[in-house]
Amino acid sequence: MKNKLISFIVAILFINFSLVSIVRADGHVPESKDTIKIVIMGYSGDNIIMQIYGELISKLGYNIEYTPADYIGQFAGMKSGDLHIGSPGWDTTAKDVMADAWGSETVLNMGNIGISVFEDWWYPLYVKDKCPGLPNWEALLDAKCAESLGTVETSPKGRFLEGPIEWGGTGNLRIEALALPFEVINAGSDAALGADIVAAVKRKEPILAWTWQPYWLPAMYPGEFVEWPEYGDGCYDDASWGPNPNKTHDCGNPTGFMWKSAWAGGESIWPKAYDVWRKFTLDEKTMGDLVYKSDIDGVDTMDVAKDWIASNEKVWSEWLK
Amino acid sequence: MEFKKYFQSTFFFLFLFLILSLIIPKFSIFENLIELPNDYKLPIASYISSITKWLIEDASFGIFSFKELTRALGSVFDAPSIFLKGLLATGFKYETTAGNSVLIQPLPWISVIFIFVMIGVWLKDISLSIFASISFLYVAFFDLWESTMITFASIIIAVIIGIILGMFLGILSFKSIKIDKILTPIFDFMQTMPVFAYLVPALMLFGYGPAAALIVTLIYAMPPMARVTKNALEQVNTEVVELGQMVGCSTIQMFYKVLLPSIKPRMMLGVNQVIMLTLNMVIIASMIGAGGLGYDVWQSLKQLRIGQGFEAGIAITLVAIVLDRFSQKIATRKILYTHGERTIFQKYKLVIVTLIVIIFTWLIGQKFSFLITLPENYTFSSGRFWDRIIDYININYHGNISLVRDFFFIYLLKPFKLFMLSAPWFLFVFLVFLIGFKIQGIYLGLKCSCFVLFIAMTGFWEKAMITVYLIGICVLLANIIGIPIGIIASQNERVHNITKVVIDTFQTLPAFVYLIPVIMIFSVGDFSAMIAVVLYAIVPAIRYTDNGIRQVPQSYIDAATTAGCTKFQILRRVQLPLSFPDIMLGVNQTLMMGLSMLVITALVGTRDLGQETLIALSKVDPGRGITAGICVAFIAITVDRLISAWSYKRKFELGLA
């Protein structure tokens, strides 16, 4: 009785496993079957980029795993080789960390994705009623405008809601340089920042806050970025530059790019996969459409990535060559 | 004579302190007295940075380096959770010799639910089976199965290690006062240092992934187990021990047959805490590669999908409650001894049936994918339901709500904050010395004032003062609200059951789930942070008070009843004084919990020491983070030492010690 049962189980196991085996159809044989760990952070745009890349190299037969990690923390992971392919780092928020990582020779700069990023002071359109003259920054000098943007913490000054302090915002310096009647309040995380802005927009309360592009928030709610004296070389370190001859930071934010990083040790283990990552680029229009699909239409980022792969074979087949 | 008495009272000094700290900053010559002058500050942060750097890069035992040792330890810790993760969530992948990969699917949800139902049957508690089934069905139908199983696999290991290690350390510190003296401050550090402070070294030493997450979780979740174990052992009746000695128990017998059974009910509080705190860490753990439900919550809230975040948060809470209730039941089950011979099949009937069903469903699961993950059109989501509720409150009631916030801000938060920031550092050192001196003597006074002096020397004085201000208000509120609720819960079974569910929810529901709606309504700032901290820190105030009063031996209450006490008199004269040590342990834990929430307040945007650790994390500066973390721990230790010295004094005065 017992023996029969065991042989029955063994038989079923055998049948089952032989049926579920997966055969790679692609011609490329990966150099190593070791799992490539690809960082995902939970932002739709970055997730889509990483998932397009991940799905492409799994077509080449690599074993991959999407590892959730923190934006800044991922660089420590790549340094020690625990994470292999990093989520894009932005010039505007992770310049120091990236420079530190690339300088250590354990993390490679894999080039620019081709998407420029932009971050600055943003307001919903109805703020223009209170502060006529916007988007020109001089409209913010008006005390009434500032007061309408204030809260109990900052009154009578206006409130400028900046991102987490560790993002290295320069709001305080700009306020000082341009003599704006505002006070900086830092949100501690992107989630808190987004929650505060969206709630204010929903109750039509004036708000002035730090936002960036590409991001779902400015895409979802009508608003504009404040126009500052345009950033030029020297604005941040040469006081004589710009409208205020005695202070630095009297200008808007510099724009920057999204950068690809990877653990240096992986180059020799999965050369082909690294080659694909180097070649990987997307243009801003495509990125915008993909993010829109995910954030506004609510499509899962993985499905967005797979759809893109299905309809853009021409683009990615170049990278896989 | 009258004057001398007056002079001696602590209140006089407090009053003097208040006056002095209000007057001194008014004079401009004293302006730079608020903080310690820069020349006297020590570069503690850079010392610590070099030590960590040395530890990570150069420390070596000759044959292998320190980092290799921790990495090896990490992979030992990893192994069981990787296996469980494969079994429950991702399946196993094998490479055949032909170069094909074979995927063995994970256990289907039906089998997992069946296992829990059978454990419920084994414990003779069908309601547990039903509760577990409903919880897991919720998870499956809300499309959270895989995440939940990943979380489950990683935390179950942390919980088991936490309980065993905690118990062991608790026994050690009970046995030897010396060890206790060493361990107590270490536990304080472990519980109060914000996670971000030691995240970078932990990641470097243990690698990015489940192992580091496990270590970080253990650091935070294990100490309550050790504390509770020690506390429980101390409260064992000497008669019980004497009985054990009389009947001739060996040391081991004494422990297993006498001590352990008599401290079991109290110890279960520790087990409960380990489970709750472990689940509390899942969001942070997900930031360093553990994935699972924590990642789901974090991702949803980043995109302000409150409903989805809430669904995943509830799943975390359900996992916690299921684990907690099962562990409580296993610990308190009554073993029935049956007479007569039983065959192996009779003895292990349940195990055999369960195994057969598991193997059968697992095999079927290989072929029918709906058993592994439910197809999308069978799962559902509350969608934007919760978001709409928040929107409704936000749009319609924001005016009134913001009045409350403004009131608190103007009359409580702002004045207190300004006061803390304007009081000179040496007055604080002096005040702490005086309080310590008044309570116990010169030694305690010196010890505590040294801690405060250290904070002044690190250069984080301003941030430390904001921390004291914010957490001080929160802990005060948490105790003012929490202790009365605990007292009521101890008197009334129904209130007890309701509060138990509510506080379990608050302790395990990731703070972020309710914090983001709080921010939407109250906007970024100290007030939002305060709500989150109070909601979290209130839990131990309620739990320890309730538990403490319930542990008062029935014989005392019977005696009081015979003496003709009313119910209120029993509470006031018998139950409250006798549970005083437990309540004070609760106050202590409120403070610890409040300080551990600095991680969360930093994510809201308060300018306290929590923020300092977050900045250090982004600058990859372990020294700065750890120094800020040490400041937090010193604040905790100072207050804790003063409170416990005072509570000891009170106990002595009441004749309880």
In this structure, what CATH number is given to the domain that contains residue B536?
1.10.3720.10
Residue B562 forms part of a structural domain? yes
CA distance B142 to B373: 11
The backbone region for B94, taken as left when phi is positive above 0, alpha when psi lies in -120 to 50, beta otherwise, is beta
Q: Is residue B455 within 8 Å of B631, Cβ to Cβ?
A: yes
- As for the ipTM of the complex, it is 0.78
Predicted local confidence at residue A23, as pLDDT: 41
| Chain B residue numbers touching A185 (CB-CB < 8 A) | 524-525, 605
Rg, C-alpha atoms of chain B? 27
CATH architecture of A23-116+257-320: 3-Layer(aba) Sandwich (3.40)
| Chain B residue numbers touching A67 (CB-CB < 8 A) | 208-209, 289, 291
Question: Are B619 and A44 in contact (CB < 8 Å)?
Answer: no
Residue B459 forms part of a structural domain? yes
- Minimal Cα distance from A96: which residue of B? B619
* Cβ contacts of A97 within 8 Å, gap of 6 or more: A72, A75, A89, B618, B619, B620
Q: Is residue A40 within 8 Å of A47, Cβ to Cβ?
A: yes
Rg, C-alpha atoms of chain A? 25
A243–chain B nearest CA distance, Å? 31
Question: Are B203 and A77 in contact (CB < 8 Å)?
Answer: yes
B149–chain A nearest CA distance, Å? 16
Q: Smallest Cα–Cα separation from A118: which of A287, A255, A221, A291?
A: A255
Amino acid at B319: V
CA distance A289 to A295: 10
Predicted local confidence at residue B22, as pLDDT: 65
Q: How far is CA B445 from the centre of its chain?
A: 29
- Owner of token pair 């920054």: A137
| Nearest beta carbon to residue B519 from set A83, A167, A195 | A195
pLDDT of A30 over the 90 cut: no
A23-116+257-320 and A117-225 agree in CATH topology: yes
Surface of B (495-534) touching A: CB under 8 A: 512, 515-517, 519-521, 523-525
Question: How does B261-282 read in b/e, with b if 16+ C-beta sit within 10 Å?
Answer: ebbeebbbbbbbbbbbbbbbbb
Amino acid at A132: P
| Chain B residue numbers touching A295 (CB-CB < 8 A) | 303
Residue B557 forms part of a structural domain? yes
Q: Smallest Cα–Cα separation from B507: which of B192, B214, B281, B196?
A: B281
- Structure-derived torsion over alpha carbons of residues B62, B63, B69, B71, reported in degrees to the nearest 10: 120
pLDDT of A19 over the 50 cut: no
Q: Smallest Cα–Cα separation from A92: which of A214, A196, A219?
A: A214
| Chain A residue numbers touching B101 (CB-CB < 8 A) | 21-22, 63
A148–chain B nearest CA distance, Å? 15
The total of other beta-carbon atoms located within 10 Å of residue B200's CB is 24
Segments making up each domain of chain A, as ranges? 23-116+257-320, 117-225
Residue B560 forms part of a structural domain? yes
Best A20, A33, A70 member to test B by mutation, with max B CBs in 10 Å, is A70
CA distance B460 to B632: 10
Question: Are B619 and A200 in contact (CB < 8 Å)?
Answer: no
The residue length of chain B stands at 657
A97–chain B nearest CA distance, Å? 6
Q: Smallest Cα–Cα separation from B453: which of B190, B631, B640?
A: B631
Residue B424 forms part of a structural domain? yes
Q: pTM to 2 decimals?
A: 0.81
Predicted local confidence at residue A24, as pLDDT: 46
Best A87, A152, A165, A304 member to test B by mutation, with max B CBs in 10 Å, is A152
Tokens read off for A239 = 């006081």
Question: Are B615 and A165 in contact (CB < 8 Å)?
Answer: yes
Question: Are A193 and B524 in contact (CB < 8 Å)?
Answer: yes
State the burial class of residue A27 (Cβ atoms within 10 Å of its Cβ: 0-12, 13-18, 19+). Answer: exposed
Q: pLDDT tens-digit profile of A99-111?
A: 888 988 889 999 9
Confidence of residue A25 (pLDDT cuts 50, 70, 90): very low
Question: Are A69 and B208 in contact (CB < 8 Å)?
Answer: yes
**Pairs of residues, one from chain A and one from chain B, whose beta carbons lie less than 8 Å apart:** 182
* Domains held by chain B: number: 1
Predicted local confidence at residue B623, as pLDDT: 86
Surface of B (542-571) touching A: CB under 8 A: none
CATH architecture of A117-225: 3-Layer(aba) Sandwich (3.40)
| Nearest beta carbon to residue A83 from set B208, B291, B303 | B208
Predicted local confidence at residue A18, as pLDDT: 44
| Chain B residue numbers touching A80 (CB-CB < 8 A) | 203-204, 207-208
Confidence of residue A320 (pLDDT cuts 50, 70, 90): confident
The DSSP result for B223-257, as a single string, is HHHHHHHHHHHHTS-HHHHHHHHHTT--HHHIIII
The total of other beta-carbon atoms located within 10 Å of residue B178's CB is 9
CA distance B23 to A144: 36
Distances B21 to A308, B165, B422, B426 between C-alpha atoms, Å: 65, 46, 7, 10
Surface of B (258-287) touching A: CB under 8 A: 286-287
Q: pLDDT tens-digit profile of A138-157?
A: 888 888 888 888 888 887 88
Question: Are A166 and B304 in contact (CB < 8 Å)?
Answer: no
Tokens read off for B341 = 């011979």
* Cβ contacts of B127 within 8 Å, gap of 6 or more: B120
Tokens read off for B43 = 């570069």
| Nearest beta carbon to residue B288 from set A22, A23, A70 | A70
pLDDT lower than 70: segments of chain B:
1-13, 21-35, 95-101, 334-347, 383, 654-657
CB of B480 within 8 Å of a chain A CB? The answer is: no
Beta-bridge partner residues of A108:
A262
Predicted local confidence at residue A21, as pLDDT: 40
- Owner of token pair 């007569």: B340
Residue B173 forms part of a structural domain? no
Residue B24 forms part of a structural domain? no
CA distance B378 to B369: 13
Predicted local confidence at residue B12, as pLDDT: 66
DSSP H helix total and E strand total for chain B: 34, 2
| Chain B residue numbers touching A43 (CB-CB < 8 A) | 302
Question: Between vectors from CA A76 to CA A265 and to CA B150, what angle results, nearest 5°?
Answer: 95
Best B56, B298, B379, B618 member to test A by mutation, with max A CBs in 10 Å, is B618
Tokens read off for A188 = 């501690």
Strands A223-225 and A107-124: antiparallel
CB of B103 within 8 Å of a chain A CB? The answer is: yes
Distances A90 to A211, A261, A280, B298 between C-alpha atoms, Å: 14, 11, 16, 20
Residue B603 forms part of a structural domain? yes
| Chain B residue numbers touching A22 (CB-CB < 8 A) | 100-103
* Cβ contacts of B78 within 8 Å, gap of 6 or more: B209, B210, B211, B214
Q: What is the domain range of residue B486? A: 394-657
Predicted local confidence at residue A308, as pLDDT: 92
| Chain A residue numbers touching B344 (CB-CB < 8 A) | none
- Minimal Cα distance from B398: which residue of A? A203
